[in-house]
Chains A and B, each alone.
Chain A
């Protein structure tokens, strides 16, 4: 393995480096009950790792989610809850 000048690397490193392992304080669980597809959770996500295409379709990519909880606090219909790591998948 070579370390280049200025540690220049191939692009797309953030896809390979799955930083979801940094998550320590729980993760979001999408209840898929009251969802109105307002997109607030996806827009507010600082990792840009929440996706959805309509009501009750939203999910977080746990390979990158840091568990900050902004989606859960922002959801106007309380359709996301934070659960401990190792809990039921979202």
Chain B
């Protein structure tokens, strides 16, 4: 029997945040993240959570506020989505550069224009170069487990980088699922209080986030890059310890589902991988050697581990809810670079799917797999309507 409670994702995530005992929370409501911060605000109002919940006039301020609070040396939390994440953008880069171990939930949503409140992952993917560790959850249980792990990773003195936990908007926060949340005692044992290396203190003043001249800036960025690389084994270590403590697999670099003997492997981020697993089961029943590698940690990009996990495949089918307009599909491009100049060279096909909340169906996924097995697909949109006239494109 499943342990846990039938609970809405937003409530589960809010409870997981509460278990981490943040001292300051600041966030601005934006669909589909709103329910998470509403739950947190109500917990504070009901006296269930001893934290400063600070209302602000927008996401730039929410991010700036948690930046400042984190610099003072306390654990903080924020959450946003889509336009909110973009509006935070300047501060998002600053938080990473200032090495502040802030944890954020991003409820993945399409970006404007056209305005869409529905799910895809263009928002967080656009922030991939900011210096934040990015982890993508498949379901609400994992979203909660990643929140606990995110603080462990971020606050590790070998890391000291912020972590963005990405959850597919609506698909996760608004869905009711069985979620097993640990007790406060268990979390306290797993997640000790935050110990800052530097903090703002009037008795011992220091300067944070000051300007740096060309003789030092490059080293500061190099330090983040090297730390990102060095955090890969730490992310694995935190995941292993999570399993030892809570008896459940969660987090880490990626999940392999029926990959080891597979000749075709689908690579996906987030909730789409769940649908893909059903497709894989179906195709396996028909005798096809198909698997799915669900990438959890997108930043740092675990290049070596991905090479080892995928080098036996003949076809890799990357499906993603993101697009670098004028470029290509970002995850596929990076996966191709993993194999560049190495002995194994699987065919890596790329499909863009489900933008702006368009359903990702099992038929779509089967189509992508079948097509990639026939020929290498450089990049193709799946599920485009053919009944519309697109001005300037076709008449």
In A1-29, the 8 Å CB interface with B consists of: 3-13
Q: Which residue of the partner chain B has the closest CB to A9?
A: B207
Cβ of B98 to closest chain A Cβ, rounded Å = 4
Q: Which of A4, A12, A13 contacts B198 (CB 8 A)?
A: A4
Considering only residues 71-112 of chain B, those with a C-beta below 8 Å from chain A are 97-100
Q: Which of A3, A5, A7 contacts B210 (CB 8 A)?
A: A7
B206 near A8 (CB under 8 angstroms)?
A: yes
Is A6 a contact of B209 with CB atoms below 8 Å?
yes
**Contact between A7 and B220, CB atoms less than 8 A apart:** yes
- Once the chains bind, are A6 and B208 in contact (CB under 8 Å)? yes
A10–B206 CB distance below 8 A: yes
Chain B residues in 8 Å Cβ range of A13: 207, 210
Question: Which has the most chain B C-beta neighbours within 10 Å: A4, A7, A9?
Answer: A7
User: Which of chain B's residues has its CB closest to A8's CB?
Assistant: B198
Residue from A4, A8, A10, A12 whose CB has the most chain B CB atoms within 10 Å: A8
Q: Which residues of chain B have C-beta atoms less than 8 A from A4's C-beta? A: 198
The B interface, classified by DSSP as helix, strand, loop or mixed, is: loop
For the complex, count residues of A whose C-beta is within 8 A of B.
11
Point out the residues of chain A lying under 8 angstroms from B198, CB to CB.
4-6, 8
| Inter-chain contacts of A7 with B (CB < 8 A) | 97-98, 209-210, 212, 216, 220
Instruction: Give the CA-CA distance A11 to B203 in the complex, in Å.
Output: 12
Chain B: minimal CB distance from A66 (Å): 14
Within 8 A of B (CB), among A50-72: none
Task: Give residues of chain B (190-217) contacting chain A, Cβ–Cβ below 8 Å.
Answer: 197-198, 205-210, 212, 216
Scoring A3, A5, A9, A11 by chain B CB atoms within 10 A of each residue's CB, the highest score goes to A5
A residues near B210, Cβ cutoff 8 Å: 7, 9, 13
Indicate if B160 sits at the interface (CB-CB under 8 A): yes
| Cα distance, A10 to B210, chains bound together (Å) | 10
Nearest CB in chain B to that of A6: its residue: B99
Residues of B within 8 A of A (CB): 97-100, 160, 197-198, 205-210, 212, 216, 219-220, 223
- List 17 A-B residue pairs with CB atoms under 8 Å apart, sorted by A's residue number: A3-B220, A5-B160, A5-B197, A6-B97, A6-B98, A7-B97, A7-B210, A7-B212, A7-B220, A8-B198, A8-B206, A8-B208, A9-B210, A10-B206, A10-B207, A11-B207, A13-B210
Given contacts A6-B198, A6-B208, A7-B220, 19 further A-B contacts (CB under 8 A): A3-B219, A3-B220, A3-B223, A5-B160, A5-B197, A5-B198, A6-B160, A7-B97, A7-B209, A7-B210, A7-B212, A8-B198, A8-B207, A8-B208, A9-B206, A9-B210, A10-B206, A11-B206, A13-B207
